[in-house]
């Protein structure tokens, strides 16, 4: 068992959701599915133990491989036992060095690691958001497909790495991630990214880059999902078709206003049936066109206005304007996850660039953010600092409450 935590619980951690040991999945079970890339000869640490150190350190706010190793150095012996660090014949336990962790992350199977972490987060997200009764239109699961470049991974002879992710709108939990090489390759990775996920009844949002007829048809016909595609001017034909609809004859169907950080933003939405107008040619199974008009006023600046168009496979009787407005805004809010990774975890400043390490580091950041979000954390930076100061609190958050002494120790 981990050592009893005798210090007072910081206020930011006391606000997290209660942990039920019978319902919280154990991360180890998922990490054990990741194949070990190392030769059997000379192994001292199990791959699961090394990945657990990385996971605990990420939840504690670690930004670099050096900080992953430093977390292990600060961890008491009782935590090392739980993690599975073997005891040396002379009696001491020593956590993996920076070099060992770096070599493992450079060689680990990025797809397998992302699948393991994505499955774990999906389990935690499902447990945290399971509705007490039957779900209605406003409770439909919504997932955004969005890409992000790892700016610091670029080198003279290599382009920056680019990742494509499937992220829940609510709580911003990353369910799947893959490396695509460059932004222009996102379209070809759209289906492989979503293939492992159960999308039945889910609303998937994406921008014009993924508005390929084959992908859209596959999503609806094979995955039994709905879609909402945001159409920008880089798709001129579809954008003109949507802009030409008789919006002036349609009344505003929903409005919302938000305030904060020195700005005020109001949004209004109109919807229009498009089965006849577009004939389903540009977007298979399209049923509604959406027009969102945003007005944003920031202190000391002029008011800005923006009109955004979108199409969805949801019909008028299957949804409500408020849900569609939330889905459009939720797709934009996925950028908040990128902001967290860049600001709280300094992702853009990271110079890790060898092998799979850039992607693996992004995966552990996704793990930390998604886990803390499912527990109800509002301030990720403050929460990770509190966990960093009390390392023994990291393991229970990951569903690890006990572990027998490793065999052979």
Q: The whole model's pTM is what?
A: 0.86
Cross-strand pairs, 176:
166
Measured in whole angstroms, the distance separating CA 362 from the mean position of its chain's CA atoms is 10
pLDDT of residue 62: 93
pLDDT of residue 324: 93
Residue 382: CA atoms inside 13 Å, Cβ hemisphere, count?
Answer: 11
Q: Give the Cβ contact number of residue 145 at 10 Å.
A: 25
pLDDT band at 18 (very low <50, low <70, confident <90, very high): low
pLDDT digits (tens, 9 = 90+) for 109-153: 999 999 999 999 999 888 776 554 444 445 789 999 988 888 877
Closest CA to 117 of 347, 364, 358: 364
Residue 55: CA atoms inside 13 Å, Cβ hemisphere, count?
Answer: 30
pLDDT band at 378 (very low <50, low <70, confident <90, very high): confident
Residue 156: CA atoms inside 13 Å, Cβ hemisphere, count?
Answer: 0
Q: Is the pLDDT of residue 336 over 60?
A: yes
Q: Is the pLDDT of residue 36 over 60?
A: yes
pLDDT of residue 180: 87
DSSP summary character for residue 158: B
Q: Give the Cβ contact number of residue 132 at 10 Å.
A: 4
pLDDT of residue 157: 67
pLDDT digits (tens, 9 = 90+) for 217-245: 899 999 999 999 988 887 788 888 889 89
Rounded Cα gap, residues 34 and 53, in angstroms: 15
3-state SS assignment for residue 22? coil
Mean pLDDT of the chain: 84
Q: Is the pLDDT of residue 189 over 50?
A: yes
């Amino acid at each position: 068992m981990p050592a009893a935590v005798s210090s007072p619980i910081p206020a930011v951690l006391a606000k997290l959701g209660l942990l039920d040991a019978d319902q919280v999945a154990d991360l180890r079970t998922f990490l054990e599915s990741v194949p070990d890339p190392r030769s059997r000869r000379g192994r001292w640490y199990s791959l699961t133990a090394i990945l657990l150190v990385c996971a605990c350190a990420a939840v504690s706010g670690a930004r670099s491989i050096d900080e992953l190793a430093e977390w292990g150095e600060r961890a008491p012996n009782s935590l090392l036992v739980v993690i599975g660090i073997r005891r040396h014949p002379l009696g001491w336990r020593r956590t993996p060095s920076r070099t060992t962790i770096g070599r493992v992350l450079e060689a680990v199977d990025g797809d397998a690691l992302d699948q393991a972490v994505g499955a774990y987060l999906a389990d935690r997200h499902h447990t945290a958001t399971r509705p007490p009764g039957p779900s209605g239109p406003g409770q439909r699961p919504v997932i955004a497909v969005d890409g992000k470049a790892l700016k610091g991974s670029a080198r003279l002879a290599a382009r920056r790495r680019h990742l494509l992710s499937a992220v829940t709108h609510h709580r911003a939990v990353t369910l799947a991630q893959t490396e695509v090489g460059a932004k222009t390759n996102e379209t070809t990775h759209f289906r492989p990214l979503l293939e492992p996920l159960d999308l039945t009844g889910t609303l998937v949002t994406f921008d014009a880059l993924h508005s390929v007829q084959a992908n859209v048809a596959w999503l609806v016909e094979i995955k039994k999902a709905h879609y909402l595609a945001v159409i920008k001017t880089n798709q001129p034909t579809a954008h003109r078709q949507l802009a030409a609809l008789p919006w002036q004859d349609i009344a505003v169907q929903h409005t919302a206003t938000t305030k904060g950080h020195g700005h005020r933003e109001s949004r209004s939405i109109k919807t229009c049936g498009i089965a006849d107008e577009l004939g389903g040619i540009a977007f298979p199974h399209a049923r509604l066109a959406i027009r969102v008009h945003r007005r944003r006023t920031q202190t000391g600046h002029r008011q800005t206005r923006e009109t955004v168009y979108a199409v969805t496979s949801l019909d008028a009787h299957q949804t409500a304007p408020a849900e569609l407005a939330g889905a459009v805004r939720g797709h934009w809010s996925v950028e908040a996850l990128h902001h967290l990774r860049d600001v709280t975890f300094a992702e853009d400043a990271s110079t890790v660039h060898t092998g799979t390490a850039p992607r693996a580091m992004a995966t552990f950041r996704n793990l930390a953010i998604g886990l803390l979000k499912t527990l109800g954390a509002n301030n990720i930076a403050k929460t990770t600092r509190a966990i960093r100061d009390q390392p023994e609190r990291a393991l229970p958050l990951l569903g690890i409450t006990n572990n027998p002494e490793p065999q052979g120790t």
